[in-house]
A and B are shown apart, each in its own frame.
Chain A
Amino acid sequence: MSADILSFIIFLPAIVAFILMITTKDANTVRNIAFVTTIIIFGLVLKLYLSFDPEAGIQFVTNNVWIEQYGINYYIGVDGFSLTILMLIALLISPAYLLLWEGRTKGYWINMLLVQTGITGALLSLDMVLFYFFWETMLLPIFLIMGMFGTGNKIFSTIKVTVYTIAGSLLMLIAIMYLGTAYYAEFGTWSFAIDSFTQISTLSYDAKLWLFLAFATAFAIKIPLFPFHTWITDTYTNAPTGAVFILSAIMAKLGVYAIVRFLIPIFPEIYSDFSIFFVCIGIFGLIYFGIAALMQNDIKRMFAYASASHLSFITAGVFSLNAYGMSGALYLIIAHAIATGGLFLLIGILHRETGFKTISNLGGIAKQAPIFTVIFAIFLFSNVGLPGTSGFTSELLIIFGLYEFHPVLGYISGLTVLIAASFMLWMFQRAILQDRETDNGKDLPMRDLKIKEILGLIPWVVLIFVMGLYPDYFIDKFEPSVLHYISDILPSGATK
């Protein structure tokens, strides 16, 4: 049973999606069943989380033959890193359904289910071909949602993001093939498992570097890192709320996760030799995207930059080569997913009700929708890294980590406490708090949150504070995995 629980978690949404596709036409039925499905998955993941032993490495492994002649296996398992993100995904999806509840079509919900299978599969794969399979399939539902339900120049945006990510994926595919053949050349059997790839010893340093870069490019596009980011503004601006939510809260994080899962074990020496380069790119992105966000008028566009800024910071933490930075990065993955995901959903509601998502047209929201505003503010302050919220704990740890990596870089990365605060508060002032400056200050039609939406958001609000006030509980779950990476995989414990 315990071994199958992961497969069940992965495939249940897809199976339900296919059944619903055939059996019913009613969008509300589809939505209700889909919602129940996500709740069931949440329960399973919670059970997994509570029974997980942090010290025991990869657990709940299933390893079945998939394509025998090439040694490609259906090989999945979970460790502290992936478990934390798995928990995060389960925790994000059901409440998101509650906020997206009204007025969506059958196709929308079916795609939401499919995307969950893709994401979870990619997260839990320990075989690189299997990973590649999920990595690609998780994008298709997003493209469909964007192309069908997006706004503005949606077709162009969809094509742009598709071409971008596929270009990256192809590089990764080539690298996977190369590693597979290298393994075959050395050991005489085919295997695409990560733990097989880590044994390859015949590659030259240059070859490893090129392979590393091929992977890194694919992940950098997904995250996105500078200069692979120009797809994100159009996409986030034009994509419908659900797609933006999935992209920003979950998929972007998988890019970072993939770095940890694959690049560190397979190319430890490249990872530590070139870490300075990625830390610098990360810190540069933090500042560059943060400044670019300042003057955006479209809130979704502003948050696209904001997201990129935070994800760059996360990437810098991942490459800091020490427990502080890596734990902080993983913690920020969660904190940022909750806060930014929540903000995107709230902006979705704002856009739906008022018809605007441009700051200059908004205003006067707070007096009409106080509960909306309170929750918006909590997410916003978590994003800004206010102590007592989850955002602070993560930023603190990453700054500690980067300081240990190099004091000067640590100082520069500290700017994070200024950057997000400046554009977030300014936006909050103009779009939510102060009376409108256009239309003679006439109020927009805005309702407050419904009970259902509040219920969906409360777990996140609670989590933001619990993670900010008692982080040790969560960090204990993944700290051993982080320490394992640092002391066992990286050369010479890498740091000092």
Chain B
Amino acid sequence: MNTSLLIWIILFPLLGGLLNGGFYLYHIKIQKIPELLFAIIGTVFPLLAFVFTLILFLDMNEHGSVYSQHLFMWLDIDKLTIPMQLLGDNLSIFMSLFVTFVGTLIHLYAVAYMKDDEGFGKFFAYFNLFLASMLLLVLADNPIILFIGWEGVGVCSYLLISFYYKTKENVVAGNKAFLVNRVGDLGFLLGVITLFFALNETGISFSSMQENITLASQPLLILSGVLLFIGAMGKSAQIPLYTWLPDAMLGPTPISALIHAATMVTAGVYMVARFHFLYDAIPGVGLFIAYVGAFSALFAAIIATRQTDIKKILAYSTMSQLGYMFIAVGLGLYSSGLFHVFTHAFFKAMLFMGAGGLILAIHHEQDIFELGKQRKKLPIISVTFLIGVIAISGIPPFAGFFSKDAILTGAFSGGHYLIWLIGLFTAFLTAFYMFRLYFILFVAPNEQSKMETHKTPWSIGIPLFVLAIGAVFAGFINLPEVLGGNHNVDTWLAQLNSTPLDLSHAAEYVLIILSIAVAASGIYVAYKRYANYDLSKRETEEGLIYNKFYVDEVYNTIFVKSAQRLSTFFSDVVDNKIIDASLMGLSKGFVAFGRGLTFLQNANVRYYAFYMLIGMSAISYYVYMKLQGV
């Protein structure tokens, strides 16, 4: 009975999106509709999706069942059979549970954030469509259907980044996000195709691929594993396909919270976990993924230490945390990786929402020094922001500590000491740059004599409050054994066969203490430098780090400029000067040749009769010869 609920998890937000889209067109073309209607549609449908997911989750928890719903045959040609089928197993229900939960909260938050915006209805239409695509991605039973959701979230991300489309920069950022993601999508698509043919066209569902994985040769598995990971690099903003994420911050803040922090960007991690059977067969590629993750984590953390735009700092921190998740899934620690996805969704969504609250309260200012200077009394936001900062910095007992520590301990236990070291150092940087942000925003002395109080609307306050609870306590649902743990998440995700820990308790204690010490020293350094920072002095805006290592500029020269130059070369030189000119030359040649023959055409009928005679004779001769069979 419950199986048929699966599709409704996707249909509810889809319906919400379509209704809001239709009403919005009605709103702008025919008659105004009050915002309340859009808000109700836009929040109730995600809530329903969450309720249905929760029902399935509870049912699954009780009966241990797995749901599979076949909707219709999407495509069936030769040996390629792609059903439109949904799969609700432990992994996908786990993922959709927090996607719908956090999603609903952010929808509620957006009601206040987008208030009085002329595109209010449009925003909720896109937002609901995004949620539907994300859930299709999560619940898909085969990679092609997953890809429909995968690109669906991509296009919603594009539409939402360029939400204020009249300004060029926004649309350019949207284009960049779409195109860089498309590079990844190309990898994903080719990876799926390679895998399909490597398995002798035996089937394309995840379960049949898992069964037949032994049919494929090792090189083809490696190839498809790398190609699929390129897809993850794009979606989850890892080196080298990360450049779109900081620019994506031009969209309204709820988007950054939902799409570019909590859900869409974790799709790459989810996808790798989905293909765990493939990556288990090719540990070398897994190690490669872990290193890409480690370097992305480090690289983003370094850049984040010098940025001045509040949302960009959070964007780089997202990229950095995603790096941790890839360390985990790359090393086979799937459940730890997904646990970090889970806790990260809480505290990062909360941080973005807090940032959005600040930006709204202080006249759409995003520069952290300005925000610090024009500080207002925002009790709810400042407290929840602090909770988020502590959580991401890895201080126990906040959520981020447990999930990050599980990854670092796992890396150490597997003997990947370099990765562990990079992760540890990144943790130091994380604590540093997050507290730098906190101190500048809320602590450093400013010249205001009296702070104005700014009331936070309830639909911003409630989501912040709920997420704060998550950011504090979510860690406890998956305590490690050494802390008397319950391993709830690890047990729930047992299907992924994550690599178990192989470490003495003593060693684990040492690692835990070490990572707390590292986080604390990061906070200390930030405190020393920024707790009493003079906000009127800006930090220098020169140097490699502030300029993000000039990667954007390099990409622009290598890819964009050269494609443009090639384009001009093709159309102006090859087409016009070579191909067309030679054809026109040919026709001019004909004209000249014709002029040369004008003496034949002398208006003398006897000449013409003579030509006809020649022609007729030739034709007769030819036909005669042909009929003779010569």
Interface of A toward B, CB cutoff 8 Å? 163, 181, 184-185, 227, 229-230, 233, 288, 291-296, 305, 322-324, 327, 364, 366-367, 370-371, 374, 381, 386-388, 392-393, 396-397, 399-400, 403-404, 407, 410-411, 414-415, 417-418, 421-422, 425-426, 429, 433-435, 437, 448, 469-472, 475, 479, 483
Residues of B within 8 A of A366 (CB): 165-166
B172 CB–A CB distance under 8 Å: yes
Residues of A within 8 A of B571 (CB): 233, 292, 295-296, 305
Comparing B32-40, B181-189, B266-274, B533-541, the segment that makes contact with chain A is: B181-189
6 contacts between A and B (CB under 8 A): A295-B568, A323-B78, A386-B155, A410-B193, A417-B186, A422-B563
Roughly how many angstroms separate A458 CA and B147 CA in the complex, as a whole number?
26
Comparing B61-69, B244-252, B515-523, B575-583, the segment that makes contact with chain A is: B575-583
Roughly how many angstroms separate A388 CA and B136 CA in the complex, as a whole number?
12
Residues of B within 8 A of A184 (CB): 627
Contact indicator B566/A291 (Cβ below 8 Å): yes
Contact indicator A374/B25 (Cβ below 8 Å): yes
| Most-contacted residue by chain B among A229, A295, A410 (CB, 10 A) | A295
Contact indicator B155/A230 (Cβ below 8 Å): no
Residues of B within 8 A of A294 (CB): 563-564, 567
Find A292's partner among B168, B189, B567 (CB 8 Å cutoff): B567
Find B629's partner among A185, A295, A470 (CB 8 Å cutoff): A185
Residues of B within 8 A of A230 (CB): 575-576, 579-580, 583
Roughly how many angstroms separate A366 CA and B167 CA in the complex, as a whole number?
12
Chain B, 74-90, contact with A by CB distance < 8 Å: what is the 0/1 string? 11111010001000000
Find A434's partner among B152, B165, B567, B580 (CB 8 Å cutoff): B165
Residues of A within 8 A of B189 (CB): 396, 399, 414, 417
Query: How close is B223's CB to chain A, nearest CB, in angstroms?
Result: 9
Query: How close is B582's CB to chain A, nearest CB, in angstroms?
Result: 9
Contact indicator A429/B168 (Cβ below 8 Å): yes
Question: What's the dominant secondary structure at chain B's contact region?
Answer: helix
Residues of B within 8 A of A374 (CB): 25
Residues of A within 8 A of B150 (CB): 387
- Give residues of chain B (80-132) contacting chain A, Cβ–Cβ below 8 Å: 80, 84
Contact indicator B567/A471 (Cβ below 8 Å): no
Residues of A within 8 A of B583 (CB): 230
Roughly how many angstroms separate A388 CA and B629 CA in the complex, as a whole number?
58
| Most-contacted residue by chain A among B72, B75, B147, B179 (CB, 10 A) | B75
Residues of A within 8 A of B151 (CB): 386-388, 392
Contact flag A410-B190 (CB < 8 Å), given A230-B583, A448-B29, A472-B75? yes
Find B567's partner among A229, A295, A327, A421 (CB 8 Å cutoff): A295
Closest A residue to B155 by CB, please name it: A386
Residues of A within 8 A of B171 (CB): 429, 433-434
Roughly how many angstroms separate A211 CA and B151 CA in the complex, as a whole number?
45
- Give residues of chain B (517-569) contacting chain A, Cβ–Cβ below 8 Å: 563-564, 566-568
Query: How close is A396's CB to chain B, nearest CB, in angstroms?
Result: 7
Residues of B within 8 A of A425 (CB): 158, 175, 178-179
Contact indicator A429/B74 (Cβ below 8 Å): no
Roughly how many angstroms separate A429 CA and B172 CA in the complex, as a whole number?
7
Contact flag A429-B175 (CB < 8 Å), given A388-B148, A403-B193, A414-B190? yes
Residues of A within 8 A of B76 (CB): 472, 475
- Give residues of chain B (193-244) contacting chain A, Cβ–Cβ below 8 Å: 193-194, 196-197
Query: How close is B519's CB to chain A, nearest CB, in angstroms?
Result: 41
Roughly how many angstroms separate A364 CA and B167 CA in the complex, as a whole number?
10
Contact indicator A471/B75 (Cβ below 8 Å): yes
Residues of B within 8 A of A415 (CB): 186
Contact indicator A421/B178 (Cβ below 8 Å): yes
Contact indicator A163/B148 (Cβ below 8 Å): no
Roughly how many angstroms separate A411 CA and B224 CA in the complex, as a whole number?
12
Contact indicator A323/B77 (Cβ below 8 Å): yes
Query: Can you add 4 more A-B contacts, CB < 8 Å, to A388-B152, A429-B175, A433-B171?
Result: A392-B151, A434-B165, A435-B168, A471-B75
Contact indicator B575/A470 (Cβ below 8 Å): no
B587 CB–A CB distance under 8 Å: yes
Contact indicator A322/B575 (Cβ below 8 Å): no
B626 CB–A CB distance under 8 Å: yes
Contact indicator B579/A371 (Cβ below 8 Å): no
Query: How close is B244's CB to chain A, nearest CB, in angstroms?
Result: 13
Residues of A within 8 A of B166 (CB): 364, 366-367, 433-435
Residues of B within 8 A of A437 (CB): 168
Roughly how many angstroms separate A422 CA and B567 CA in the complex, as a whole number?
12
Roughly how many angstroms separate A230 CA and B566 CA in the complex, as a whole number?
18
Query: How close is A380's CB to chain B, nearest CB, in angstroms?
Result: 11
Roughly how many angstroms separate A429 CA and B176 CA in the complex, as a whole number?
11
Contact indicator B626/A185 (Cβ below 8 Å): yes
Residues of A within 8 A of B186 (CB): 414-415, 417-418
Contact indicator A434/B168 (Cβ below 8 Å): yes
Contact indicator A470/B29 (Cβ below 8 Å): no
B592 CB–A CB distance under 8 Å: no
Contact flag A411-B25 (CB < 8 Å), given A296-B571, A366-B165? no
Chain B, 131-167, contact with A by CB distance < 8 Å: what is the 0/1 string? 0000000000000100110111001001000100111
Contact flag A370-B179 (CB < 8 Å), given A292-B575, A323-B77? no
Query: How close is B82's CB to chain A, nearest CB, in angstroms?
Result: 9
Roughly how many angstroms separate A381 CA and B152 CA in the complex, as a whole number?
11
Closest B residue to A432 by CB, please name it: B165
Closest A residue to B583 by CB, please name it: A230
| Most-contacted residue by chain A among B28, B78, B196 (CB, 10 A) | B78
Roughly how many angstroms separate A293 CA and B563 CA in the complex, as a whole number?
11
Residues of A within 8 A of B74 (CB): 469-472
B73 CB–A CB distance under 8 Å: yes
Closest A residue to B220 by CB, please name it: A407
Residues of A within 8 A of B579 (CB): 227, 229-230
Residues of A within 8 A of B84 (CB): 469
Roughly how many angstroms separate A418 CA and B230 CA in the complex, as a whole number?
14
Residues of A within 8 A of B147 (CB): 387
Roughly how many angstroms separate A470 CA and B145 CA in the complex, as a whole number?
12
Query: How close is B135's CB to chain A, nearest CB, in angstroms?
Result: 14
Query: How close is B193's CB to chain A, nearest CB, in angstroms?
Result: 5
Query: How close is B72's CB to chain A, nearest CB, in angstroms?
Result: 7
Roughly how many angstroms separate A421 CA and B234 CA in the complex, as a whole number?
16
Closest A residue to B145 by CB, please name it: A387
Roughly how many angstroms separate A294 CA and B151 CA in the complex, as a whole number?
23
The 8 A-B residue pairs whose C-beta atoms are closest, nearest first, are A294-B567, A387-B148, A292-B570, A295-B567, A433-B165, A230-B580, A323-B78, A429-B171
Roughly how many angstroms separate A421 CA and B158 CA in the complex, as a whole number?
12
Roughly how many angstroms separate A417 CA and B171 CA in the complex, as a whole number?
20
Find B194's partner among A163, A323, A407, A421 (CB 8 Å cutoff): A407
Residues of B within 8 A of A404 (CB): 197
Closest B residue to A476 by CB, please name it: B76
Query: How close is B128's CB to chain A, nearest CB, in angstroms?
Result: 15
Contact indicator B175/A371 (Cβ below 8 Å): no
Find A421's partner among B72, B179, B197 (CB 8 Å cutoff): B179
Contact indicator A479/B168 (Cβ below 8 Å): no
Chain B, 606-630, contact with A by CB distance < 8 Å: what is the 0/1 string? 0000000000000000000011010
Contact indicator A381/B155 (Cβ below 8 Å): yes
Roughly how many angstroms separate A421 CA and B180 CA in the complex, as a whole number?
11
Roughly how many angstroms separate A371 CA and B28 CA in the complex, as a whole number?
10
Query: How close is A403's CB to chain B, nearest CB, in angstroms?
Result: 5
Roughly how many angstroms separate A323 CA and B79 CA in the complex, as a whole number?
9
Roughly how many angstroms separate A43 CA and B507 CA in the complex, as a whole number?
78
- Give residues of chain B (283-331) contacting chain A, Cβ–Cβ below 8 Å: none
Closest B residue to A471 by CB, please name it: B75
Roughly how many angstroms separate A230 CA and B151 CA in the complex, as a whole number?
35
Contact indicator B564/A295 (Cβ below 8 Å): yes
Contact indicator A288/B165 (Cβ below 8 Å): no
Query: How close is B139's CB to chain A, nearest CB, in angstroms?
Result: 15
Query: How close is B577's CB to chain A, nearest CB, in angstroms?
Result: 11
Residues of B within 8 A of A410 (CB): 190, 193
- Give residues of chain B (42-73) contacting chain A, Cβ–Cβ below 8 Å: 72-73
Roughly how many angstroms separate A163 CA and B155 CA in the complex, as a whole number?
43
